[in-house]
Amino acid sequence: MQPIGACILVINDQNQVLLGKRKNSYKAGYYGIPGGRVEVGELLAETAKRELLEETNLTAVDLKYVGVVKEHQDEWDFIHFVFVCHQWTGEVTTVEPEKCEGWQWYDLKALPSPILEGHAAAIKVYKEKKTLVEL
């Protein structure tokens, strides 16, 4: 398993971000954005689109790369390539109820807590127009 992933900030017209509350997985009880590991040979944008669909039932129409987060997780450094999606098709669905309690929209100025550290950094990359955050 590679310590490389793609995560997606889904932002709606009300400047809200889509977050899911994790369960039965790494840091259960924390909120996170859609995302996951890059499969061998897979392009980063393909990973982002695949993970978004697999987790939320949304198909990205407009996907843009915004930056990278390097996060130390236990025994490795995990690299998150951060994408933002402002346009999509489909309705938000909890596709993996065994891994996520549900998806909800949160104002970027009033986020729930706790958020996965790497995903909070991804939000920072987007909000502050940074290209790199290292934790």
Its pTM stands at 0.94
Q: What is the pLDDT of residue 72?
A: 87
pLDDT in tens, 43-59: 999 999 999 999 999 99
Q: What angle do CA 135, 13, 6 make, to 5 degrees?
A: 35
- In angstroms, the Cα distances linking 39 to 51, 65, 83, 122 are 11, 18, 17, 20
Distance CA(135)–CA(130), nearest Å, equals 14
Q: How far, in whole angstroms, is CA 121 from its chain's centroid?
A: 10
